């Protein structure tokens, strides 16, 4: 690759990152609260999960696992990769990548409260990063936030 082509490539990659809205910890927690999560313990846990899933980047896509958006929601169960809304949350996966994270949060709360086989609620365990990084007291994620 020529030098000018590689410079162009770098510019394009940076441009797509700049384009994505990246929430702050507090902005994210405030959005969760707006959609009905009032417990500070839960707000800390959700904020920890979003940080480890996407670094709060609304356009995050894991094309290997097929996870979309700030909370890395999976297409296998929850969203449709076609232009027609569908699967568990009755949405398109593309709608999880917009600056407005309302759709992401509503779907995440649906996943959270859905009862999986064996009648236990999914809860936070639907996110692999929860068990890995976010169990226990996660209040430090939202310290200093006005909630």
Ligand X SMILES: *[C@@H]1O[C@H](CO)[C@@H](O)[C@H](O)[C@H]1NC(C)=O
How many residues touch ligand X under the rule CB under 6 A: the total is 2
Residue 92: CB minimum distance to ligand X, A: 9
Query: Among residues 67, 100, 104, 114, which one is catalytic?
Result: 67
CA distances 56 to 9, 45, 68, Å, are: 24, 14, 12
Q: What angle do CA 90, 91, 97 make, to 5 degrees?
A: 155
Among 6, 24, 90, 102, binds ligand X (CB under 6 A): 90
Q: Examine residue 85 and tell whether it contacts ligand X (CB under 6 A).
A: yes
| 118-137 footprint of ligand X as x/- string (CB under 6 A) | --------------------
Inter-CA distances, 76 with 13, 16, 92, 145, Å = 27, 26, 12, 34
The footprint of ligand X (CB under 6 A) covers 85, 90
């Amino acid at each position: 690759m020529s030098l000018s082509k590689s410079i162009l490539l770098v510019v394009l990659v940076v441009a797509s990152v700049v384009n994505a809205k990246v929430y702050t910890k507090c902005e994210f927690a405030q959005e969760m609260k707006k959609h009905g999560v009032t417990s500070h313990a839960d707000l800390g846990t959700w904020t920890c999960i979003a940080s480890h899933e996407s670094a709060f980047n609304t356009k995050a896509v894991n094309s290997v696992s097929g996870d979309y958006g700030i909370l890395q929601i999976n297409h296998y169960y929850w969203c449709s990769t076609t232009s027609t809304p569908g699967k568990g949350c009755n949405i398109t996966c593309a709608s999880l990548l917009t600056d407005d994270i309302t759709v992401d949060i509503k779907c995440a709360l649906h996943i959270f409260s859905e009862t999986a086989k064996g009648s236990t609620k999914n809860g936070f365990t639907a996110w692999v990063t929860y068990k890995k990084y976010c169990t226990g007291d996660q209040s430090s994620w939202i310290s200093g936030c006005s909630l």
